[in-house]
Amino acid sequence: MSEDTAPLVPARRVGAGGRVLLGLAMLGARASLLVSPRPAALIIRRVFASAGVNLAQGLERHAPADVDAFIDERYGDGPDMLLDVYRPASRAGPLPLLLWVHGGAFVGGAKEELAGYFKLLAHDGYAVAGPRYSLAPEHRYPTPPRQMMKALEYLQANAERLGIDPNRVALAGDSAGAHIAAQLGALVTTAGYADAVDVQSTITSQQLRCLILACGPYDLALARRASSAAGSRFIQAVVWAYTGKRHFFDDPLASSWSVTNHVTSAFPPTLITVGNADPLAQHSALLAEKLRAQRVDTETLFYPHDHAPPLGHEYQFELDTDDGQRFLERARVFLRQHLTAT
C-alpha cells in the first residue's frame, strides 16, 4: 500500500507492516462500503490502536520524570469526555495552557499515546492538556470540536486547582487533531463561523495566543483527490464515518469542514509542519498560503521534495531522528515567543 492511498490520514502512522495490513483490511471492507462505513472505520481504528502502542513506548523513552499529572479529569458528561493535564513538578503557580488534540483519522487514536510528548512540552513550563474525544462512526461531526470547547471551558473553571493561566492559551494537534485544532482557531476568530459549524467558542481571541499544527488535513477539495482506488475507499470510509453522510463532499455542510475557507486576519500566530513524503503536504501548504494572504503571523517547517530520508505522516513524533528533534525544538521556540509573554 503506497503512501498516497490514504490522503486524509496516511499510513505512515502505522508503519510498513501496518500499511500492508491496512491495505488488506480495506480491500476486505470494500463490499461493506456499499451500505455502511462502520466495518472499514473499525478496522482502521484497530490498526491504529496497535500502532499506538509502539508510538507511546517510543515517546515515553524521551519523557522527563519530574512531571506531575492529573489523569482522567472529567470535562463533560459523555463517557469519552476525559482529559489529562501535565505540568512540571518543580514549577508552582499558574502556567500557560497548551491543549493538544490527538490524531487518528477521526475514527481512532488516543490521548494516552502522546503522554510522553506531553510530558516533554510540560517540562518546559506549561500545563499541557491532552483530551479524549468521541470517535466516529459512533459520534459524528462536529462532536469533536464541540467537545474540545467543553474541555477549554472546564480547564478555565478549574484553572486554580490545575495551576493554569487561562489568559495564555495555545492550541495544537496532529493529523486529524490538527484539523480540529485549526477549526477551533477559526471558531474563536472568524465571525459567523461558530454559527455555521454550530459550535460556540468558550475562549476569546485575546486568550488564544497561538496554534501548532502538524500533518493535518484542512481542505476537502484536496482530500477528495485520491490517486488510487484504495485511497478513494479510505477517504470514503473516514468522511462517511465522521459525517454520517455518504455524499458529504456534495453537502452544504462540507464547506464548514474546510478550515482554509474560514481564516481571517484575526487568526492566531501559527506554526505548521508536514513531511515531504506526507500525502497531506498540499493541505499544509494551502493553509499556510491562505494565512499569509490574510497577513497572519505564519511559520512553517516544510522540507524540500528531495529531502532524505523522506519524511512521512507524523514524522514529528519520531524523536530518535534529527528531523523529529528539529520540529520539537522549533515548537519550543515558537511557544516561548508567543505563550510565555505575559
* Statement: the pTM of the whole predicted model exceeds 0.95: no
Instruction: Select from 88, 48, 35, 31 the least CA-distant residue to 314.
Output: 48
| pLDDT value for 2 | 36
| pLDDT value for 255 | 82
Does residue 96 contact residue 128 with C-beta atoms inside 8 Å? Answer: no
Does residue 177 contact residue 103 with C-beta atoms inside 8 Å? Answer: yes
| pLDDT value for 176 | 97
CA distance 43 to 54: 18
CA distance 324 to 61: 14
Residue 19 has, within 13 A of its CA and on its CB side, a CA count of: 16
| pLDDT value for 12 | 46
Look-up: residue for cell 513531511? Answer: 275
Does residue 175 contact residue 13 with C-beta atoms inside 8 Å? Answer: yes
Does residue 48 contact residue 104 with C-beta atoms inside 8 Å? Answer: yes
Give the Å distances, CA to CA, from 4 to 9, 237, 281, 284.
10, 16, 11, 16
| pLDDT value for 4 | 39
Question: What stretches of 132-236 adopt beta strand conformation (E)?
Answer: 164-174, 208-214
The one-digit pLDDT tens for each residue of the chain (342 residues) are 333 333 444 444 555 555 555 565 555 566 567 688 998 899 889 989 999 999 999 999 999 999 999 999 999 999 999 999 999 999 888 999 999 999 999 999 999 999 999 999 999 999 999 999 999 999 999 999 999 999 999 999 999 999 999 999 999 999 999 999 999 999 999 999 999 999 999 999 999 999 999 999 999 888 777 656 666 778 888 989 999 988 888 887 778 999 999 999 999 999 999 999 998 999 999 999 999 999 999 999 999 999 999 999 999 999 999 999 999 999 999 999 999 865
CATH of 3-338, one of 3.30.70.360, 3.90.320.10, 3.40.50.1820, 3.40.640.10: 3.40.50.1820
